[in-house]
């Protein structure tokens, strides 16, 4: 197969007709697109999973202070805090999602899943899921293929980029990928997996992209943690056989429609929302001055010209 599905109903129909599991067409797609054997695809997935786990570990063990100073070891602070709001597992979920995204904000190594801005969600969710349910790595890798299938369809029907569809397209899509992967890894049937995606999208619709000073730090890092929580909530709802009412394909279409009608200032331009608050503007000004100060004289002259 050199062409993947344009919608979730097509994905389900293909698997039903060919009597195959949900991740199989993704595997074939990867083989054909990249001219790889199946074994090589699994090896690549294993590398991606290692990078995700490493990002969580790095964020929890090493110093994560961004150059702007807006990000300052948040993952570690949550992980070691004495008070759990719900449970230690929930606390770890939030801490891990923050930690992996903070590594990205501090220029560390992450997997863009689907983007660097949303790179804390799948690691936080899947590391926590594996920890709680004692899942084998193979199951997680299959879950990553499911997540990739979800992203490919969202990309075709709407967008995965904050600059095109707002933050719903980035953290919203990542949460949908994570939610579908959770239900898959816990052996939920296809309808529940897609229902989890639909419920997640419904919960994230309309979220704007408004990064302070144009840096992928605030609100991006905390949104990764919140999106991880929403992914788990949606998976829990879907596994309990509660319907999203609006089918998943229509939820993605709504996401695309909202993204298209969203004003430009809410699409990664740092002109609206949190970026346009007085504090957001003051931070942007301060960072710009700091950047000019550290440039050599001749470069400063060029900018002033």
Provide the 8-state DSSP code for 80.
T
Number of residues that bind ligand SF4 (CB under 6 A): 14
Report the residue number, 130 or 179, with the smaller CB distance to ligand SF4.
Answer: 179
Contact 94, 236 (CB under 8 A): no
Token pair belonging to 78: 């949550």
Token pair belonging to 206: 């309309």
Element (H, E) at 246: none
Smallest separation (angstroms) from ligand SF4 to the CB of 59: 16
Segment near ligand SF4 (CB under 6 A), from 13-21, 38-46, 90-98, 166-174? 166-174
Element (H, E) at 286: helix 278-293
- Interaction of residue 216 with ligand SF4, rule CB under 6 A: yes
Report the residue number, 192 or 226, with the smaller CB distance to ligand SF4.
Answer: 226
**Contact residue for ligand SF4 among 117, 120, 188, 256 (CB under 6 A):** 117
* CA distances, 7 to each of 77, 156, 251 (Å): 41, 8, 11
Report the residue number, 193 or 216, with the smaller CB distance to ligand SF4.
Answer: 216
Report the residue number, 180 or 219, with the smaller CB distance to ligand SF4.
Answer: 219
**Contact residue for ligand SF4 among 125, 164, 209, 230 (CB under 6 A):** 209
Query: Of 191, 165, 176, 152, which is closest to residue 33 (Cα–Cα)?
Result: 152
- Interaction of residue 220 with ligand SF4, rule CB under 6 A: yes
Query: Of 206, 130, 223, 131, which is closest to residue 171 (Cα–Cα)?
Result: 223
Which residue's C-beta sits nearest to ligand SF4? Answer: 162
Smallest separation (angstroms) from ligand SF4 to the CB of 300: 28
Contact 193, 238 (CB under 8 A): yes
**Contact residue for ligand SF4 among 170, 193, 194, 270 (CB under 6 A):** 170
Phi/psi for 72 (5° steps) reads: -145, 80
- Interaction of residue 71 with ligand SF4, rule CB under 6 A: no
Phi/psi for 209 (5° steps) reads: -105, 110
Token pair belonging to 276: 């346009």
Q: Could you give the 3-state DSSP secondary structure of residue 86?
A: coil
Contact 209, 262 (CB under 8 A): no
- Interaction of residue 151 with ligand SF4, rule CB under 6 A: no
- Interaction of residue 162 with ligand SF4, rule CB under 6 A: yes
- Interaction of residue 104 with ligand SF4, rule CB under 6 A: no
**Contact residue for ligand SF4 among 141, 268, 272, 280 (CB under 6 A):** 268
Binding residues (CB under 6 A) for ligand SF4: these are 117-118, 162, 167, 170-171, 209-211, 216, 219-220, 223, 268
């Amino acid at each position: 197969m050199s062409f993947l599905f344009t919608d979730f109903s097509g994905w389900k129909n293909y698997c039903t007709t060919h009597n195959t599991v949900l991740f199989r067409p993704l595997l074939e797609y990867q083989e054909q697109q990249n001219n790889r054997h199946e074994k090589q695809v699994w090896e690549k997935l294993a590398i991606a999973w290692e990078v995700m786990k490493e990002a969580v570990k790095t964020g929890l063990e090493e110093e994560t202070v961004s150059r702007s100073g807006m990000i300052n070891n948040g993952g570690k602070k949550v992980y070691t805090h004495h008070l759990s709001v719900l449970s230690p597992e929930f606390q770890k979920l939030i801490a891990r999602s923050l930690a992996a995204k903070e590594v990205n904000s501090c220029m560390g190594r992450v997997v863009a899943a689907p983007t660097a801005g949303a790179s804390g969600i799948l690691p936080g969710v899947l590391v926590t899921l594996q920890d709680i349910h004692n899942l084998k790595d193979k199951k997680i890798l299959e879950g990553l293929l499911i997540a990739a299938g979800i992203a490919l369809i969202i990309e075709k029907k709407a967008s995965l980029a904050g600059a095109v569809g707002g933050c719903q397209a980035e953290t919203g899509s990542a949460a949908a990928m994570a939610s579908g992967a959770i239900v898959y890894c816990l052996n939920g049937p296809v309808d529940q997996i897609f229902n989890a995606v639909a419920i997640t999208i419904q919960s994230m619709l309309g979220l704007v992209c408004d990064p302070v000073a144009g840096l992928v730090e605030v609100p991006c890092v905390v949104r990764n943690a919140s999106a991880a929580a929403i992914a788990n909530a949606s998976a829990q709802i879907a596994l309990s056989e509660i319907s999203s009412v609006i089918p998943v394909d229509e939820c993605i279409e709504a996401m695309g429609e909202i993204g298209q009608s969203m004003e430009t200032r809410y699409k990664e331009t740092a002109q609206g929302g949190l970026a346009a608050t007085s504090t957001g503007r003051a931070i942007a000004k301060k960072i710009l001055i700091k950047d000019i100060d550290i440039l050599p004289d001749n470069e400063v002259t060029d900018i002033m010209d």
